[in-house]
Structure 1
């Protein structure tokens, strides 16, 4: 066994996740000087690439749509832990942290990752093809979760400001879990074929013929290393967040930019994995990753912060402002028009990317 592991232990995909966790242990909770921040950033980038590699190994072993689900859920669970940790440490100034992070994740996934995947897939293969039944179901779930959790608090009257009352928050949390559970059951059990890649003729691709699937032992090892890499990514992102905050304040930017930058770092593994899938003409896998991440971000974050609010003394602001509600509504409408035909050209990818650019612009200049 040791002899078999020795060659693997010299590979960068094994070394970097372990190094990231070791570095996280030594830097956690400490103020980092500039040189250490540079080292942490380099290891963070390596951990992102390692996470993508191991996620693809697991995905190849278990097949779609389980592979994209593994990466989406793993990233989101650790992201939720990061949000709750920052809320506990941040006091009143973290009142909007959950809202800003979840909305950033929705815009990054539904416009950034989707737009980039459609653009890459359509430029390389003329058109990007996917299954509108599965993608439409995912989009409907994301739109419902986002509206219930991020839009309704702006209009409720039980509490002043864009906040839920305790009962309303519990309802939103339970509804989020139920919807997410229903979607996962639909995706992996009852209608799994709706979420599998399809050919240009609309035939479902049930297996990949270009390479043999990795062994069970290799897949389990990659699963463990994926977890280590993601812990390193999120933990190191938290470590460099004070430097990001200082840079944002020095540049005179809005505080919400910090959440956007951290969300971009955390979602980088899924972005790279989605673009790679699109290059292989597996746009359905890319959309599974994007919409699944958006759904998991809402469906797991809202219940987590609802539970955390029991012992958190500060307010929990979930309601979006008018500008962000317009962006969310436009995103849902454009996504619907993109999904219905089941194929997309570079135009659709460009439209989503422009929406994402508009979100970034308004985050910098609200």
Structure 2
């Protein structure tokens, strides 16, 4: 949230949501061709606009609620993208699995690795609150295990699938874990998630209530634009991936990358300002919200549409996910981290991407 102006709303963040809705209404069903690239650019602009407005609202409500607002905005974008692609193009039962898996791995290693490297490079040793980081891992590990590994070992449905009863239980379990985490984050142990040395402000003037309300309305408009444009662009994205001969799992990676792009910028800015705890809140918070909210939302739509969801990841990816959690436990177990830890996380992020193309 380090770069959001608090005394004005940049004109382009007002124009882009309006342009996005207008583009969808006029050109949204026009098909492929050069128009798809234009709509994709408008979609990316609306992603940035939505998170900018979420940052203003976040600055108004303060920490740790601010990073929670950002995580929820990003989750809405991701769920909207997945649902739009599910309902718009050819059936892809593994789309949610690929997107959630990519979000967890890119957040836990790619984004976290970059933030640790930036913070360590500028401040040598970066500090954070171990209680907050461990709280994120305490819910993220069981969530990811239930959604990505558990389906491979149940008898209710063959392969990587869950029966509807099992999927309902897993969705409710994710919601319960997320609700418990929110209670801890915003009530009993709010101090666990405040940056080290936090004194009730972060150097920014608090936006006015009128500006926060205007940004909230623009954020909702931008989110609506993202979801509807994604539905129009879904077939073009899938055809493009197939045309270059890439695995279909790349679609999930692209979704995760689009969703995490603006939040990543905020996390890196916070790391550069020696506020690694804010970076952790943004990074791990988005992964927790991704599973805790996206999975139940997509499960409801899948049940309504009668589309099965392939959730279980492969055995090799399960091993890599287990290694990822082991490394994360080591990294976040002391309250201090350094350049080496960041390099390790970045190597694991590259390993994950490589494993998609060379399974």
What TM-score, normalized to structure 2? 0.91
Kept in 1, the 8 Å contact 2:78–2:255? The answer is: no
Partner in structure 2 of residue 364 of structure 1: 357
Which of residues 97, 100, 113 is equivalent to 2:98? 100
Partner in structure 1 of residue 220 of structure 2: 227
Deviation, structure 1 residue 318: 1.0
Structure 2: gaps (5+ residues): 1-6
**Could you tell me how far apart the structure 1 residues matched to 2:347 and 2:138 are?**
22
Partner in structure 1 of residue 134 of structure 2: 136
**Could you tell me how far apart the structure 1 residues matched to 2:54 and 2:64 are?**
12
- The residue matched to 2:303 in structure 1 has which SS? coil
Deviation, structure 1 residue 256: 0.9
**Could you tell me how far apart the structure 2 residues matched to 1:16 and 1:231 are?**
12
Alpha carbons of 1:207 and 1:128: their partners in 2 closer, same or farther (altered >3 Å)? same
Alpha carbons of 1:260 and 1:292: their partners in 2 closer, same or farther (altered >3 Å)? same
Deviation, structure 1 residue 231: 3.4
| Residue 59 of structure 2 is aligned to residue 60 of structure 1 | yes
What TM-score, normalized to structure 1? 0.89
Alignment of 1:227-306 (within 5 A): 227-306=220-299
- The residue matched to 1:267 in structure 2 has which SS? helix
Kept in 2, the 8 Å contact 1:119–1:345? The answer is: yes
| Residue 109 of structure 2 is aligned to residue 116 of structure 1 | no
Alpha carbons of 1:119 and 1:94: their partners in 2 closer, same or farther (altered >3 Å)? same
| Residue 80 of structure 2 is aligned to residue 81 of structure 1 | yes
Deviation, structure 1 residue 324: 1.4
Deviation, structure 1 residue 66: 0.7
Alpha carbons of 1:331 and 1:297: their partners in 2 closer, same or farther (altered >3 Å)? same
Alpha carbons of 1:318 and 1:282: their partners in 2 closer, same or farther (altered >3 Å)? same
Which of residues 185, 188, 191 is equivalent to 1:190? 188
Partner in structure 2 of residue 31 of structure 1: 31
- The residue matched to 1:95 in structure 2 has which SS? coil
Deviation, structure 1 residue 238: 4.4
Aligned residues: 353
Kept in 2, the 8 Å contact 1:51–1:269? The answer is: no
1:66-111 per-residue CA deviation (whole Å, 9 max, x = no partner) reads 11111111221232233223223445x4111111111111112111
- The residue matched to 2:305 in structure 1 has which SS? coil
Which of residues 169, 175, 178 is equivalent to 1:177? 175
Alpha carbons of 1:235 and 1:337: their partners in 2 closer, same or farther (altered >3 Å)? farther
Partner in structure 1 of residue 39 of structure 2: 40
